[in-house]
Amino acid sequence: MTENIGVLGKNSPRCTDVERVVSVPLPTAYGQFRAVGYFDHERGDEQVALVYGDPGADRVLTRLHSECLTGDAFGSRHCECGDQLATALRAVAAEGSGVVVYLRGHEGRGIGLLAKLRAMALQAEGLDTVEANLALGLPVDARDYGVAARILDDLGVRSVRLMSNNPRKREALVRHGIQVAEQVPLLIPPCESNITYLRTKRERLDHHLPHLDAVANASS
């Protein structure tokens, strides 16, 4: 994959509603990535893909990471998002190539930052993450992964090894034309602050979190 730095014209990307705007080297604590910026004309969101090395087209190690300000930036232990992002970036760098698509507009599984904080307040009162969203009259999961599929297509990626515990991400990519050759677990050791949240994700949202069994056995 050739390096392309600067602002690109409207006709450059293959996507129609997702426009590639800029590509620039981005040195990080995890290695030298390339940040490829996109504008989603359908939703009005700015998106970014962090590309490491030359991923090629097939079996590309990939993470679709939903924006989580509290976890990614503030280090919240209420969720495992920040640790998952760091682990994914390290894994891509260790692999020598890969893509992390950082999906803005996905805060709180798509309900937004303030609504997420309101849901967290309800969780502090005893509701689980699903019940809290429903109590606010909001969807349990409002995320759409179509933009991620279009970004991967623009990058020339046809099939991925998807770093995720969420089967809905796999289903969404396949539905949008990206093959998932393998689903790679991204398991973060739980802590006291997020164990209930993680159990809810497993029991009510079908996330594959087998490492929680060891926690249950240790406490029994």
153-177: string of b/e by CB count within 10 Å (b at 16+)? bbbebebbbbbbbbeebbebbeebe
Catalytic residue among 40, 83, 141, 154: 141
Active site residue 141: yes
Is 67:107 a contact under the CB 8 Å cutoff? yes
Strand-pairing partners, residue 182, are: 161
CA–CA separation, 99 and 78 (whole Å): 26
CA–CA separation, 216 and 210 (whole Å): 11
Catalytic residue among 34, 109, 118, 143: 143
Closest Cα partner for 140 from 155, 130, 125, 150?
Answer: 130
Question: Using only C-alpha atoms, what is the Rg of the chain?
Answer: 18
Catalytic residues: 141, 143
